[in-house]
Every structure is written in structure tokens, then in C-alpha cells.
Amino acid sequence: MAARSIKSLLVAVLSVFFMLFSFNVKAQHEAPETAEGHHTEKKEGFNAKEVIFGHIMDAHEFHFLSYKGKDGEHHALSIPLPVILYSPQKGFSVFMSSAFGHHGEHEVKGYKISEEGKITAVDASVKVYDFSLTRNVVQMILALAILCWLMLSVAKTYSKGQGVTSAPKGKQNLVEVLVAFVRDEIAKPNLGHKVNKYLPYLLTVFFFILINNIFGLIPGTANVTGNIAFTAILGVISFVVILASSNGHYWGHIFNPPGVPLGVKFILVPVEFLSVFIKPFALIIRLFANMVAGHIIIICLISMIFIFAEKITMGAGWGISPVSLAFTIFIYFIEVLVAFLQAFIFTMLTAVFIGQAFEGEHHGGEHHDDAVVI
């Protein structure tokens, strides 16, 4: 609760700050003329909006930093990713995203890339299907690989007797604590006698979200859980699991609520039916909004240094640096907590919704002691 209040306060302060001190970059407009009639070159300033959206949006590369070389040109330190395109007229085209150049100034095989990262054909009549491995996709694959390696490694260690006949060690300690937490604090209270049936799914969701949340805190990486497409897929999968777990008792309470007057049912039934779709939607938006908000706040705090230096004086930029960095570090540690918290909340709500779907089948299930093997 305290972390949420601090976030809300920081958002309000930063909103007022940017309204008062930030200005739109007008480098793309025509430069003013001199007395001789020549146009003077207008220097492009710091664009906080570009930096923020460049971090939270998907891209065709992992970008870490930009620097000015000895040749006076700006260079980027980044890892390009494969671009895979298909066109009915031109067939498949495969090349690295670095071929477009740092700012997308080059055309490659009849294709170009916009500032937003969208690849289109130079010829507008050519239809393009983009199957590229963007940084969100690559990072999601890496997270999945780490999840599989971690679980298989721990399972192999248990099969050798370590952690069964003796105390666990190494990564077993961390994994066992988290598995026991999900089992005892999320699955058992909400799923009762069906805990073993749904525990593998809940553990997969928890660890997959957690690993992606942690990855997103590493500078230069993608904020995968801050992508609405990622959270939407997780929400849809949970929605399918919830519907598959439902029974006649569940739908009976929705379309014919017991003990409710007939006149009220005409109002209550549509609301109850909409709630079936609102539940997964709440899962989608909650995870997306929380992960995006934290990253935006961190980047805004860092951007204050450059905005003060550019709009006021260089000394003001250096002066605000300690305050900005202190708040950034503070919010960063809160985001580490939020990474665990959001994985817990998504898993907890999923378990609650699944439990509600088959609640009519609970016949003393809360007293049933099924052994759960870690």
C-alpha cells in the first residue's frame, strides 16, 4: 500500500513537472533564416517521450546506449536481431536489423523501417507479413529456456536424493521456498481437493511472469510483461482454464441466481455474465499497467537530469542529479518487490477464479489432505 501511494505521488509530481518545464522538440521544423537568407541548423534536443516509448515498446534490436564517435557521428551500442519478412510478390527475405542503419535511414531489399519500428515495403502495393524475432520475442524465449533449465536441473537434483534424504542446497533452496509458497498460500486455500490438478499450471504462470519481470529490470532489456499482447495471451489462457473448470452449479448461479427476486434478476444476470469476461480482462490490465508504470517512472526520473541541463543550465542538471538518482534507486528496489508481487497477484487471482468455477463441487474438500509432491 505504501509503495502504491509513493508511486501515485511521484506520478502526480512528475506530471506537473513536465507540464511546466518540458517543451516539444521542433528540430524537424524549418530552421529560421539569417540576414543573408540562409537557414541555420537547429540542434535537436533531448526527447524524453522518445526515450520512454523506445524502452517500453517492442523493437528489432537490444539497444543499450548511443555515443558520439571521433568521426563526429552518433553510434549505437546494440545487438541487432533477425528480420524475417514474407511477401506474396517477393517471397521470404531474411537479414539483420542493423542493415536498416541506426535511425532506419537505409532501405534493404525493398523494405524500410519507420521510427516506430514498423517494417513496410517501399512499394506501397507490396503486402508484407512480418515474422521477425523482436526483442520481446527473443527475451521471452530466453526466459522460457531459463525456466525449463531451472526446473529440470532442480528435478534432476531431487532424483539423486539431494533435498529428499538430506537438506536442499544451491538453487533448490530458492525454488523449494517459492513452490511451497505457491502451493500453501495460493493453491490450497483456493482449490481445495483439486490442488494437485492445477498446481503445475499455477507454478508455470508464477515462475514465467516472475522471470520476465526480473529480466525487464536489467538495463537494455525488454519490458515483456509491460506489453499488452503478452499479458493478453496469459489472460486468455487463464480464461480458457477457468471455463474448462466450470460446472453446472457455476453457470446456474450466473443465469439464475438463487434467492434473488425476479425483477432484480433482469439486472443481475447480465452483470454476472459480463463478470465472466471481466475477470481475465482484470488480469491482463493489472499486470500490464503495473509493469509499464514502474518503468516509466524510472525513466522520467533519469530524464529530469537531461531536461534540467538543457532547459535551464548545465549546473542545474548536475544539481538535480543526486536527487534524481536517489529516487531512481529507491523506485528500482520497489520494482524488484513489484516483480514478485505482480507474479503473486496474477497467480492468486487465477486460482481464485478457477476455484469459483467449480465451487459447487466442494464437498468438504477443504479438509481433504492430498499429498503434494514438490
**pLDDT at position 48:** 67
C-alpha–C-alpha distance, residues 220 and 217, integer Å: 9
pLDDT above 70 coverage of the chain, percent = 80
Bridge partners, 119 (sequence order): 113
Bridge partners, 85 (sequence order): 93, 130
Each residue's pLDDT tens digit, 185-225? 999 999 988 889 999 999 999 999 999 999 988 888 888 99
Q: Name the pTM for this structure.
A: 0.77
Q: What is the mean pLDDT of residues 255-268?
A: 83
Helices 262-311 and 228-245 pack at an angle, to 10 degrees, of 160
Residue 40: CB partners within 8 Å, gap ≥ 6?
Answer: 31, 32, 33, 34
**pLDDT at position 38:** 47
Cell of 235: 489472460
C-alpha–C-alpha distance, residues 274 and 302, integer Å: 42
Helices 195-215 and 314-357 pack at an angle, to 10 degrees, of 170
Provide the strand spans (E) within 31-160.
61-68, 74-80, 82-87, 91-96, 111-113, 119-121, 129-130
**pLDDT at position 163:** 72
Q: Decide: helix, strand or coil at residue 66.
A: strand
pLDDT band at 349 (very low <50, low <70, confident <90, very high): very high
Q: What is the mean pLDDT of residues 137-157?
A: 91
Q: What is the mean pLDDT of residues 97-106?
A: 80
C-alpha–C-alpha distance, residues 374 and 175, integer Å: 10
Each residue's pLDDT tens digit, 19-77? 433 333 333 333 444 444 444 444 556 676 777 777 778 888 887 777 676 776 667 77
User: Is residue 339 pLDDT above 60, yes or no?
Assistant: yes
Q: H or E element: which one contains 166?
A: none
C-alpha–C-alpha distance, residues 187 and 202, integer Å: 8
Asked whether the beta carbons of 194 and 214 are under 8 A apart, the reply is no
Asked whether the beta carbons of 257 and 268 are under 8 A apart, the reply is yes
pLDDT above 90 coverage of the chain, percent = 25
- Tell me the average pLDDT of the chain: 79
**pLDDT at position 19:** 42
